[in-house]
Amino acid sequence: MNKLAQEKKYKKIITALSIIIPIAVAILFGVNLRALGFDVEPLTFLPPIYASINGLTAMVLIAAVIAIKNGNKKLHEQLNTFAIICSLVFLLMYIAYHMTSDSTKFGGEGAIKYMYYFILITHIILSIIVIPLVLLTYMKAKLGDFEAHKKIAKKTFPIWLYVAITGVVVYLMISPYYV
């Protein structure tokens, strides 16, 4: 299969995933297995784990940029692959937590409440936007189109880094209100 045909095929997959993932997360976020009568234990131990995975993702992304600036393409690729895996593991844990546990309300008041919701809303919006960006950036590298990869990575990296860091910040801000 030629490069153009491969890119067309991958773009269809990326488009599908970029639509399916946010919709699936939104649907599953609203499903509470315990409320539906399933005898499952709440997975209340997961939030600090998946927040830590977000923190790890941020560090791995920074390390990947350092690796490529030092000319280490192989390490750069390995780190970015690991960052994608971390993001996937985060997402699975996040869904599992919300399907087995009651939602936690933020209890802060005043300016901190507005700051929390600003961070949370931008985190959620950008986490949806970053899905196709990450996949397109990765695809361009895998297909050897490094100029296009570099161009899109300049947009992808700061958004993905923001999403990873704000995931930790959101956890730290809401964690005092977990039951």
Boundaries of every domain in the chain: 3-177
pLDDT band at 30 (very low <50, low <70, confident <90, very high): confident
Give tens-digit pLDDT for 119-161. Answer: 999 999 999 999 999 999 999 999 999 999 999 999 999 999 9
Residues 110-113: contacts with CB under 8 Å, at least 24 apart: 112/173
CB of 141 within 8 A of CB of 84? no
With a pLDDT cut of 90, the percent of the chain lying above it is: 84
Residue among 165, 169, 179 at smallest CA distance from 54: 165
pLDDT band at 102 (very low <50, low <70, confident <90, very high): confident
Structure tokens at 102: 């009651």
Residues 53-57: contacts with CB under 8 Å, at least 24 apart: 53/86, 53/89, 53/90, 53/93, 54/90, 54/163, 54/164, 54/165, 54/167, 54/168, 54/171, 55/164, 55/165, 55/167, 55/168, 56/86, 57/83, 57/86, 57/87, 57/90, 57/160, 57/164
In whole angstroms, what is the distance from residue 133 CA to residue 74 CA?
21
In the chain, at which residue ranges do the beta strands (DSSP E only) sit? Answer: none
pLDDT band at 3 (very low <50, low <70, confident <90, very high): confident
Structure tokens at 67: 């690796």
Residue 76 pLDDT? 98
pLDDT at 109 over 80: yes
pLDDT at 179 over 80: no
Query: Under CATH, what is the fold of the domain 3-177?
Result: Four Helix Bundle (Hemerythrin (Met), subunit A) (1.20.120)
In whole angstroms, what is the distance from residue 112 CA to residue 117 CA?
9
DSSP state of 101: S
pLDDT band at 2 (very low <50, low <70, confident <90, very high): confident
Residue 178 pLDDT? 85
Give tens-digit pLDDT for 47-90. Answer: 999 999 999 999 999 999 999 999 999 999 999 999 999 999 99
Residue 78 pLDDT? 98
Other Cβ atoms closer than 10 A to 64: 22
Q: Which helix (H) or strand (E) holds 153?
A: helix 146-174
